[in-house]
Amino acid sequence: MSIPVLTLLTIVLCGGILVGGLLAVLLDNMLSAVISAGLASLFASVVYVVLAAPDVAMTEASIGSGLTTMIFLYAIRKTQDKNASSVEEE
Protein backbone atom coordinates (compact mmCIF):
# COMPACT_ATOMS: atom_id res chain seq x y z
CA MET A 1 0.00 0.00 0.00
CA SER A 2 2.64 2.52 -0.97
CA ILE A 3 0.67 4.34 -3.61
CA PRO A 4 0.67 8.06 -2.75
CA VAL A 5 -3.01 8.61 -3.50
CA LEU A 6 -3.17 12.09 -2.04
CA THR A 7 -0.20 13.33 -4.07
CA LEU A 8 -1.60 11.94 -7.31
CA LEU A 9 -4.96 13.48 -6.52
CA THR A 10 -3.37 16.88 -5.91
CA ILE A 11 -1.49 16.66 -9.19
CA VAL A 12 -4.72 15.88 -11.10
CA LEU A 13 -6.59 18.73 -9.37
CA CYS A 14 -3.81 21.27 -10.00
CA GLY A 15 -3.67 20.16 -13.62
CA GLY A 16 -7.41 20.80 -13.84
CA ILE A 17 -6.97 24.27 -12.37
CA LEU A 18 -4.26 25.13 -14.90
CA VAL A 19 -6.36 23.79 -17.80
CA GLY A 20 -9.29 25.92 -16.62
CA GLY A 21 -7.11 29.02 -16.42
CA LEU A 22 -5.58 28.43 -19.84
CA LEU A 23 -9.00 27.94 -21.41
CA ALA A 24 -10.32 31.08 -19.71
CA VAL A 25 -7.54 33.10 -21.32
CA LEU A 26 -7.55 31.45 -24.74
CA LEU A 27 -11.19 30.75 -25.67
CA ASP A 28 -12.90 33.09 -28.09
CA ASN A 29 -16.43 32.77 -26.76
CA MET A 30 -16.71 34.88 -23.64
CA LEU A 31 -19.39 32.73 -22.02
CA SER A 32 -17.11 29.70 -22.29
CA ALA A 33 -14.29 31.73 -20.78
CA VAL A 34 -16.41 32.58 -17.73
CA ILE A 35 -17.41 28.92 -17.32
CA SER A 36 -13.77 27.81 -17.52
CA ALA A 37 -12.83 30.31 -14.83
CA GLY A 38 -15.54 28.65 -12.76
CA LEU A 39 -13.73 25.32 -13.17
CA ALA A 40 -10.59 26.84 -11.65
CA SER A 41 -12.60 28.05 -8.67
CA LEU A 42 -14.28 24.63 -8.24
CA PHE A 43 -11.04 22.67 -8.11
CA ALA A 44 -9.35 25.29 -5.94
CA SER A 45 -12.02 24.57 -3.35
CA VAL A 46 -11.13 20.85 -3.31
CA VAL A 47 -7.45 21.73 -3.02
CA TYR A 48 -8.23 23.77 0.08
CA VAL A 49 -9.92 20.72 1.61
CA VAL A 50 -6.80 18.66 0.84
CA LEU A 51 -4.68 21.32 2.53
CA ALA A 52 -6.90 21.09 5.65
CA ALA A 53 -8.51 24.52 5.44
CA PRO A 54 -12.27 23.79 5.37
CA ASP A 55 -13.24 27.38 6.20
CA VAL A 56 -11.53 28.68 3.09
CA ALA A 57 -13.01 25.85 1.04
CA MET A 58 -16.49 26.77 2.23
CA THR A 59 -16.01 30.42 1.33
CA GLU A 60 -14.74 29.52 -2.11
CA ALA A 61 -17.65 27.11 -2.59
CA SER A 62 -20.35 29.57 -1.62
CA ILE A 63 -18.86 32.44 -3.63
CA GLY A 64 -17.60 30.57 -6.68
CA SER A 65 -20.59 28.28 -7.23
CA GLY A 66 -23.02 31.00 -8.16
CA LEU A 67 -22.30 34.61 -7.35
CA THR A 68 -19.23 35.26 -9.49
CA THR A 69 -20.78 33.61 -12.55
CA MET A 70 -23.98 35.58 -12.03
CA ILE A 71 -22.28 38.98 -11.87
CA PHE A 72 -20.20 38.20 -14.97
CA LEU A 73 -23.32 37.07 -16.82
CA TYR A 74 -25.17 40.27 -15.92
CA ALA A 75 -22.25 42.35 -17.19
CA ILE A 76 -21.99 40.38 -20.45
CA ARG A 77 -25.73 40.67 -20.99
CA LYS A 78 -25.59 44.38 -20.46
CA THR A 79 -22.61 45.04 -22.70
CA GLN A 80 -23.37 42.84 -25.69
CA ASP A 81 -24.50 44.51 -28.88
CA LYS A 82 -28.25 44.99 -28.74
CA ASN A 83 -28.89 45.15 -32.48
CA ALA A 84 -26.96 41.98 -33.10
CA SER A 85 -28.80 40.10 -30.37
CA SER A 86 -32.24 41.22 -31.54
CA VAL A 87 -31.39 40.20 -35.11
CA GLU A 88 -30.30 36.85 -33.79
CA GLU A 89 -33.57 36.54 -31.91
CA GLU A 90 -35.87 37.03 -34.87
Instruction: Count the neighbouring beta carbons within 10 Å of the beta carbon of residue 16.
Output: 17
Q: How far is the CB of 26 from another protein (least distance, A)?
A: 9
Q: Which residues contact 71 (CB under 8 A, 6 or more apart)?
A: none
Q: How far is the CB of 65 from another protein (least distance, A)?
A: 5
Q: How far is the CB of 84 from another protein (least distance, A)?
A: 12
